[in-house]
Structure 1
Amino acid sequence: TEQADGINWELEEIRKTLPELKPHIDLTPVQQSLTEMQKLLTEMNRLLERVGNLSEKYSSKWIDWLPDFSLLVALKWIMLVLILGTAALAGWYGAAAIRGLFL
């Protein structure tokens, strides 16, 4: 709405500044198109709000029992498991190699 008002104000200023162009330029279709776009954006925002409310209502039932989730914490745990697993495999193969030297 503010953008449309700003554009309308700028158009009026242009018309005042250049009076000789006034009869040659009809900006009514532009204003109508801006008004239509504003209506469509308002409707889309209303629909997105409704969809957001619906998804919150249905998803919160299933997610309430889960603990708080942070992607960073999950990545830290995954890295810890990978490092421990790598160390365990290295130890296992190292021990097998040492045992192979004595057999």
Structure 2
Amino acid sequence: MELEAVIKERIQERFDILEELYTIWFTENPAYIVPKKRFYPDAHIERQRTITYLLNKGFIVVDPVENEPEMVAVSITVNGIDFFEQGRLDGKGNGWSVVTEHLDE
């Protein structure tokens, strides 16, 4: 796969995660409660790098769940909301068309 297509896939994965957390943010419980192993799988290095990127950019936060050591609460931050909204308005991260548009050329 060409590097440009790989980069677009990685961008899309980040937007997909942010979109899910953005949607959850505007519900009754603004955090996604999930088992640590499912959110940050050992065997999926790309997923780990994506989560690390989002954490380092300050777009998401991951906190332990009280009395549930195997669970984490994942939330989008205000910076993540701004980044996601601006990206969507600019036409970035709007689905797989971002990834496949180059492949069709």
- TM-score, reference length from structure 1: 0.24
User: Which of 1 and 2 has greater Rg?
Assistant: 1
- As a proportion of its length, which structure holds more strand? 2
- As a proportion of its length, which structure holds more helix? 1
- TM-score, reference length from structure 2: 0.24
Q: Of the two structures, which has the highest relative contact order with CA contacts closer than 8 Å and spacing of 6 or more? A: 2
